[in-house]
Chains A and B, each alone.
Chain A
Amino acid sequence: MADPAVVSGGALNAGGRGSGGKAATSPAENYHLARRRTLQVVVSALLTECGFDSAEKAAVETLTEMMQSYITEIGRCAKAYCEHTARSIPTLSDAVVTLIEMGFKADTLPLYAKRSQRMVITAPPVTNPPVTPKALSAGQKRTHPAHIPCHFPEFPDPHTYIKTPTFREPVSDYQVVREKAASQRRDVERALTRFMAKTGETESLFKDDITAFPLIAAQPSTIPYLSALLPSELELQTLEETDSSEQDDQTDGENAVGNMISDDPGADKENAMLPLSAVVPAAKASEDNVIDNPYLRPVKKPKVRRKK
């Protein structure tokens, strides 16, 4: 008796899902497994009833499968009959018709059930039906407002629409901010330059440890003055930002300086080196639009020589 159970137990573990090794299974899966296990016990009992002492694992498995198919078919058929007659719950007659349909003599069933040598199988332990995990509860679930009929779907779980602002006091201490900005920039720069140094050619200041202070190798460029003279994009960006914010009060100051220069030549004018803004007076530029400059004139076509 114990043997088949062991066998069946082993079979169970090696079950066709190929997920036998998995320790953690979902509750629904557990439920399935328990049912199948019960079936296996039934098959084993029947076999014992028929006089088998032992059975091969594969045979038990096959029989279990057959039994399950059979029962499933009965259920399916009974359900079909019941639905055929526009009901939703099968009745006894549905089952009987099904049995008959499947070629089973239904009247033998009560007799078989009451046979003397039958083995009684204890009911499988009641396992809890799989529970759907409770959704994250956040706040109170809202009820329908008055104008919405109650048959309308309920509100989804609160966590899907309730927002909880997480709020932390910003660091307002100037020193810390500066400190952070500085170290952040430094870290970024260091990481970036190290990366560049690692991925490209380098020069080193030390012979013994060439990785100590890696210097990105100097690469000559074909037009070196371009990168040296043109402001980088970063700088241009900075300029735009500061321009938009500071331009207004800036230009006033510069004009004042410019005026001072033209007015009194003797005065002290260290500020006169201010890079005066390159903006050309708009009025002047538009006034004489037609600039006569020989370099702007169109290039003349050559005179066609007459053929001799």
Chain B
Amino acid sequence: HVETGVKKQQQVVCINNINFQRKSVIGFVELTIFPTVVNLNRIKLNSKQCRIYRVRVNELEAPFIYNDPTLEVCHHESKQRNLNYFSSAYTAAVSAVDPDAGHGELVIKVPSELWKQGDDLKVLKVYIEFSLDQPKGGLHFVVPDVEGSMAERGAHVFSFGYQNSTRFWFPCVDSYSELCTWKLEFTVDASMVAVSCGDLVETIYTHDMRKKTFHYVLPIPTAAPNISLAVGPFEILVDPYMHEVTHFCLPQLLPLLKHSMSYLHEIFEFYEEILTCRYPYACFKTVFVDEAYVQVSSYASMSIFSTNLLHSAMIIDQTPLTRRCLAQALAQQFFGCFISRMSWADEWVLKGISGYIYGLYLKKTFGVNEYRHWIKEELDKIVEYELKMGGVLLHPTFSGGKEKDNPTPHLHFSIKHPHTLSWEYYKMFQCKAHLVMRLIENRISMEFMLQVFNKLLSLASTASSQKYQSHMWSQMLLSTHAFLKSISNVSGKDIGPLIKQWVDQSAVVKFFGSFAFNRKRNVLELEIRQDYTSSGTQKYVGPIKVTVQELDGSFNHTLQIEENSLKHDIPCHSKSRRNKKKKIPLMNGEEVDMDLSAMDADSPLLWIRIDPDMSILRKVEFEQADFMWQYQLRYERDVVAQEESISALEKFPTAASRLALTDILEQEQCFYKVRMQACFCLAKIANAMVSTWQGPPAMKSLFTRMFCCKSCPNIVKTNHFLSFQSYFLQKTMPVAMALLRDVQNLCPKDVLNFILDLIKYNDNRKNKFSDNYYRAELIEALTNSLTPAISITNEVRTVDNLNADVRLILEEITRFLNMEKLLPSFRNTITVSCLSAIRQLQKNGHIPSDASLFKSYAKYGHFVDVRVAALEALVDYTRVERSSVDLQWLLEMAQNDPAHYVRHKILGMLCKNPPFTKTTDPAPPFTKTTDSALCNEALVDQLWKLMNSGTSHDWRLRCDAVNLYYALFGLTRPSCLPLPELGLVLNLKEKKAVLNPTIKPELGVGPVMDTPFNTMEDEDIDMETVHDSQAFIHHHLNLLERPSTPGERKEPPSVEQSMLSMPATPVPSFPKETTPLSSKHGGEHGHHHHHHHHEHKKKKKKHKHKHKHKHKHESKDKEKDRERDNSQAYSNSPASGRSLRSPSLSD
């Protein structure tokens, strides 16, 4: 599909040295490529942050250029501050190096000797030596600061990234659609293990016996983004059930690993059975690492997990979560790693299939109830997101090159590339993808669905075994088209409308339903309206299933939603006959006795459900009487129906609702998550009924009956947690009860004492499970019981005026938090709860608001969950107190924290709970921009810098920064900035000498750049013709005449400058006819204009070149660490400098 002109055959990656002390890596790659065009004169590869020392093509030194427009998206002198501008420039920058379009940061000029070889298109071997020094992305080093050797310290390193990010750690064609076979060699300390993709062929000591080399071969054609590496002093566990599966964990965690992995073989068996296909790779490895980027990441034949997923047999809550993660990882092995995607637009197919078969696993392992509950949860999530943020488009088409029609104009980022997507959007994208797969299943049946998967897998595995016919390998790439064709071949059904509705189009459907019963005609008159005008909604036309439960039984009706028909008449089967005593048949064939006294005497209708199978991505707001919801809750056996009725009953605070909920709570056969939900609903109803509520506080007697001793009802039984359903209910009920409020809107004294007693009498000595989650929930219950303190405003909070109840609560929290230091709980759940409790105490004015405690817990070196909890409290503090110091502190951490996950979390939490919001935002609870002192020019500049250049090493973080900028300032120029003209003048004063000449082009182009899609046109200009154009060069030569550039000679065009006029254009390429010498200048200036001076001198002293260069690096490194921001640091990278090494020099 590619215009690259090359086809990768094989790639060798060899990392000779990994230095944990310096956090550096040295190695080389060798790519074997087939030219697919004659006279191939340049090769484009992806490489970020690597220092490239030399490039050879077939043993001949080759000059190269390194240019990465994503390092600094908008030129740093630009005063543009609107997000529209940034987004389009960023998209253009990413496009400029997009491997799918045949672009790359690294452009290698094929030595002219080789392109004279003519038509026979011989294999080229491209050899690249590179190193990485303190990589900020791609590879993550974890080096604990303790005594001992690196192995004793548990130091490890692993690769990570969001989507295709392999270019961060070695040069490659970083595309999911560029497959090749791999040879991977890693030389590591003898005490370490290097785990990578493919089969470990052998491990050999080096000659000094201090190191060993791991040789891996991956014979299955694999895309570079699916290659990974993890090196560390891992403990090795061979899976006892499957010897070809090996697990790795950090020292001391082996017992946890054994327990957590004891279940993996069942997941393997499940997938292999339903797909009727062997696991495609010869082996599988799981590696558990600290400071993981995401919980689960899958690569060819290996998966990297967060070490925090490991748990012992005593932990209940983590167990299903860990198993889910394993199942996700394994599903992605088949679809995502083995079968890769043809293009970014086809991503949804792979995410959809892997998510779908993961859902099948959930259904099999955790039961139908859990599965349906999960589907409902996912559906609610996507519906909520789309209604709030606008549609999620699964299959964007970017047909015409010069499209004006942005498929997603409602978004503040482009969905053209994975790297420009907001993380939240991407999560929702995956969610929608698997839901759509389920819709397809509904349409063509699961059997056909699995047949399609099997067909895709067999095609791919046939193709993968064709070692020397790499053209066959494209069978391993899945496209939307191929998938749909396969579905149509297998099932013979046309799913076109479905695909059009949900895949080619964004948004969800929003239904409003109501009904009337026509007694005369014995007909149910159903009215279904749609809202398809508000954001994130679309119009639905087609069938919809409606289930009506009547006295005579349950009946399904399929209605056609058409353009103009709102009303549907559904004939009823039964006349109203409430006096006949007869059992009522349910949908599942069960017959039950019901007390029909509550229902309307004239109507035979018990309840009505619209789209009960969730076969439309929709939100339904349906109106039916409260007793109907109550019947539905009690007697409908589908958990989704039960959950829907619980949410509906919140609006009916009556004694009957109370009774229905209480009955559900007590019913042991009922799905435990429904019962948990009922707890919260009951609390809400009780609060609404506070003046008429009879008897003890809601749920108290129920809890006493279920969990307290028979002889002394005020004391809870000692814990045993043998029934997990009861365990979850026991955890939830106190939390819900604490939400109860009396007439004064305070938590009833009864309830508080009850919770304090639960804490007091909690006894876990005889329990084989840990009670840490239970205790954490009890603290959460205490937190929920808090209400705002009544006091004179501005009164200083002191110990003396502490409310007596609060004093008791504080006493418990202090003790819990202190005990945790001595006996830490699993994942420090108790500390996490305590921190949020303390923040609530502060927020409600019981204790003085203070950030220092949270800051100390947020520091690097605490367990990640604790840090995130502390940071969440800090983010909240920052908003409430409008503290600019703390906002700075947070932003500082978001830029510099060693753990990528924490940085991502900080920005994510700031987006969710922003210190202030843009004025256009209609949300009233937040401070308006104009009101907030936090919103000032310095902050705008800081955030701009963060997304423009500060986060170039992590796509996800950059998109987070963009989100934050959007949340704070919106799409247009922030209102707190002075008028553009004024800003320009001010800045001129500051940096007069530098800015003067550059302003002209910016002014000239500025207005054009505001319309995003002009940049795309620029992109389509053929670079080489541009370069050949004398006028173009002349233009740039003029630009160069500026005081800030020390170079005295006439320079060929500098890339950065050219980017001024053509934002984010991938300029760097050599003029066709230039000699190697002059082309190298072009490259050098690609990112090196700060060093013109040195380069110039160097050129004159050719014989001293090598030595001099080395020296320069050292001094440069030092200075870069100190004062330069990221982008400049990268632009200092010698990658381009090294390109000086022309063939003549290397000899």
Residues of A within 8 A of B (CB): 174-175, 178-179, 181-183, 186, 189-190, 192-193, 196-197, 203, 205-209, 212-232, 234-235, 238-239, 241-243, 246, 250, 261, 265-278, 280, 284-285, 288, 291-297, 299-302
Taking CB atoms, residues of chain B closer than 8 Å to A297 are 202-203
- Taking a contact as CB atoms under 8 Å apart, the answer to whether B252 and A270 are in contact is no
Contact B314 A273 (CB under 8 A): no
Contact A220 B860 (CB under 8 A): yes
Interface presence of B426 (CB below 8 A): no
**Most chain B beta-carbon contacts within 10 A, residue among A218, A224, A288:** A218
Chain A residue with minimal CB distance to B252?
A226
Find chain A residues with CB under 8 A from B760 CB.
182-183, 186
Q: Which residues of B contact A232 (CB under 8 A)?
A: 823-824
Question: Looking at A183, A209, A216, which has the most chain B CB atoms within 10 Å of its CB?
Answer: A216
Knowing A178-B763, A271-B724 touch, does A222 contact B246 (C-beta < 8 A)?
A: no
Known: A223-B146, A229-B827; 11 extra A-B contacts, CB below 8 A, are: A208-B796, A214-B814, A215-B853, A219-B821, A221-B861, A229-B311, A239-B313, A241-B766, A269-B365, A275-B313, A295-B200
On B, residues with C-beta under 8 Å from A are: 144-146, 153-154, 190, 193, 199-207, 212, 236, 238, 240-241, 243-244, 246, 250, 252-253, 256, 258-259, 262-263, 283, 290, 307-308, 310-316, 319-320, 323, 363-370, 671-672, 709, 711-712, 715, 724-725, 760-761, 763-768, 770, 796-800, 810-811, 814-815, 817-819, 821-824, 826-828, 838, 841, 847-848, 850, 852-853, 856-857, 859-865
Query: A212 contacts which chain B residues (CB < 8 A)?
Result: 799
In the bound assembly, the distance between CA atoms of A146 and B319 in angstroms comes to 75
Known contacts A205-B810, A293-B238, A293-B243: does B262 contact A278 (CB below 8 Å)?
A: yes
Is A275 in contact with B316, judged by CB distance below 8 angstroms?
yes
From A208, A223, A269, A295, B367 is in contact (CB under 8 Å) with A269
Across-interface contacts of B246 in A (CB, < 8 A): 293, 295
Closest to A217 in B: B856
Report chain A residues within 8 Å CB of B819. Answer: 189, 192-193
Given A178-B763, A229-B256, A275-B316: A220 touches B817 (CB 8 Å cut-off): no
C-alpha spacing A295/B243, complex, angstroms = 11
Distance of B36 from chain A, by nearest CB (Å):
36
Q: Do A231 and B770 touch across chains, with their CB atoms under 8 A apart? A: yes
B contact residues around A266 at 8 Å (CB): 368
Instruction: For the complex, give the distance between the alpha carbons of A181 and B764 in Å.
Output: 12
A113 to B770 CA separation, bound complex (whole angstroms): 99
Nearest Cβ distance between residue A233 and chain B, in whole angstroms?
A: 9
B205 touches A261 (CB 8 A): no
Contact B199 A220 (CB under 8 A): no
Interface centre among B363, B817, B827 (most CB of A within 10 A): B817
Task: Report whether A224 and B862 are in contact in the complex, using a CB–CB cutoff of 8 Å.
Answer: yes
CB atoms of A269 and B826 under 8 A apart: no
Whether B761 pairs with A182 at a CB distance below 8 angstroms is yes
Known contacts A181-B763, A231-B312; decide if A268 and B258 are in contact (CB<8 Å).
Answer: no
Say whether, besides A218-B862, A222-B146, A268-B368, A299 and B319 are in contact (CB < 8 Å): no
**A228 contacts B827, C-beta separation under 8 Å:** yes
| Given known contacts A182-B763, A225-B290, A229-B311, A296 and B238 CB-to-CB distance under 8 angstroms | yes
B815 lies within 8 A of A223 (CB): no
Q: Flag if A209 contacts B200 (CB, 8 Å).
A: no
CB pair B367–A268 under 8 Å, yes or no, is: yes
10 residue pairs bridging A and B, Cβ less than 8 Å apart: A175-B709, A182-B761, A192-B819, A208-B798, A216-B818, A228-B824, A228-B826, A228-B827, A231-B770, A242-B766
- B725 contacts which chain A residues (CB < 8 A)? 270-271
Please tell me if the beta carbons of B240 and A280 are within 8 angstroms of each other in the complex.
yes
Q: Which residues of B contact A227 (CB under 8 A)?
A: 824, 863
Contacts of A302 in B (CB 8 A): 204-207
Given contacts A220-B860, A270-B369, contact A291 B243 (CB under 8 A): yes
Shortest A141–chain B CB gap in Å is: 49
Whole-angstrom distance between the Cβ of B783 and the nearest chain A Cβ: 15
Q: How far is the CB of A67 from chain B (nearest CB, A)?
A: 75
Residue of B nearest to A237 (CB): B765
Residues of A within 8 A of B818 (CB): 193, 196-197, 214-216
B814 and A270 contacting across the interface, CB-CB below 8 Å:
no
Which residue of A has the minimal Cβ distance to B723? A271
Interface pair A273/B366, CB less than 8 Å apart: yes
Chain A residues contacting B850 (CB-CB under 8 Å) are 205, 207
Residues in chain B near residue A217, CB distance under 8 A = 856
B31 to nearest A CB, angstroms? Answer: 26
Contact A229 B761 (CB under 8 A): no
Contact B263 A276 (CB under 8 A): yes
Residue with the greatest number of chain B CB neighbours at <10 A, chosen from A175, A189, A235, A250: A235
A232 to chain B: closest residue by CB:
B823
| CB atoms of A234 and B308 under 8 A apart | no
Most buried by A among B206, B323, B765: B765
Given contacts A266-B368, A268-B368, A272-B366, contact A215 B814 (CB under 8 A): yes
Asked whether A203 and B799 contact (CB < 8 A) given A196-B818, A225-B290, A231-B314, the answer is no
A233: nearest chain-B partner, CB-CB: B823
A206 to B814, CA, bound (A): 12
Chain A residues with CB under 8 A of B263: 276
From A220, A241, A250, name the one whose CB has the most chain B CB atoms within 10 angstroms: A220
- The CA of A179 and the CA of B715, in the complex, are separated in Å by 9
Which residue of B is nearest A200, CB measured? B821
Q: A266–B368 Cα gap in the complex (Å)?
A: 7
B144 touches which of A223, A280, A295 (Cβ 8 Å):
A223
Most buried by B among A189, A196, A239, A295: A295
Contact A270:B712 (CB < 8 A) given known A189-B819, A203-B856, A205-B850: no
B853 touching A203 by the CB < 8 A rule?
Answer: yes
- Complex interface: chain B residues within 8 A of A196 (CB): 818, 821-822
Given A206-B798, A229-B253, A239-B314, A296 and B236 touching (CB < 8 A)? yes
A131 to chain B, nearest CB (A): 56
A62 to B236, alpha carbons, bound, how many Å?
94
Contact (A294, B199) CB under 8 Å given A238-B765, A280-B262: yes
Residue of A nearest to B712 (CB): A175
Verify A213–B712 contact, CB threshold 8 A. no
Q: A189-B819, A300-B205 are in contact. Are A294 and B200 (CB under 8 A)?
A: yes
Closest residue of B by beta carbon distance from A292: B243
B859 is contacted by which of A220, A228, A229, A274 (Cβ under 8 Å)?
A: A220
Distance between B838 CB and nearest chain A CB, rounded to angstroms = 7
Contact A213 B811 (CB under 8 A): yes
- Chain B positions within 8 Å of A192 at CB level: 819, 822
A210 to chain B: closest residue by CB = B799
Q: Are B797 and A267 in contact, with the CB atoms below 8 A?
A: no
Contact B810 A213 (CB under 8 A): yes
Chain A residue, CB-CB nearest to B716: A178
Query: Contact between A175 and B822 (Cβ–Cβ < 8 Å)?
Result: no
Q: A243 contacts which chain B residues (CB < 8 A)?
A: 768
Q: Is the CB of B715 within 8 A of A175?
A: yes
Kindly list chain A residues whose C-beta atoms are within 8 Å of the C-beta of B815. Answer: 186, 189-190, 193
Query: With a CB–CB cut-off of 8 A, which chain B residues contact A235?
Result: 314, 770
Instruction: Assess A206 versus B847: contact at CB under 8 Å? Given A271-B724, A294-B200.
Output: yes
Partner of B799, one of A209, A234, A276: A209
Q: Cβ of B206: which chain A residues have Cβ within 8 Å of it? A: 302
A220 touches B862 (CB 8 A): yes
| Across-interface contacts of B798 in A (CB, < 8 A) | 206, 208-209
Do B767 and A238 touch across chains, with their CB atoms under 8 A apart? yes
Q: Check B256–A230 contact: CB distance below 8 A.
A: yes
Kindly list chain B residues whose C-beta atoms are within 8 Å of the C-beta of A296: 236, 238
CA distance A296 to B248 in the complex (A): 12
Contacting pair B711 A174 (CB below 8 A): yes
CB contacts (< 8 Å) of B145 on chain A: these are 222
| A-chain residues with CB within 8 Å of residue B860 when the two chains form the complex | 220
The residue in chain B whose Cβ has the minimal distance to the Cβ of A290 is B243
Pick the 9 closest A-B CB pairs, nearest first.
A220-B861, A193-B818, A294-B200, A269-B367, A175-B712, A228-B863, A278-B259, A280-B240, A212-B799
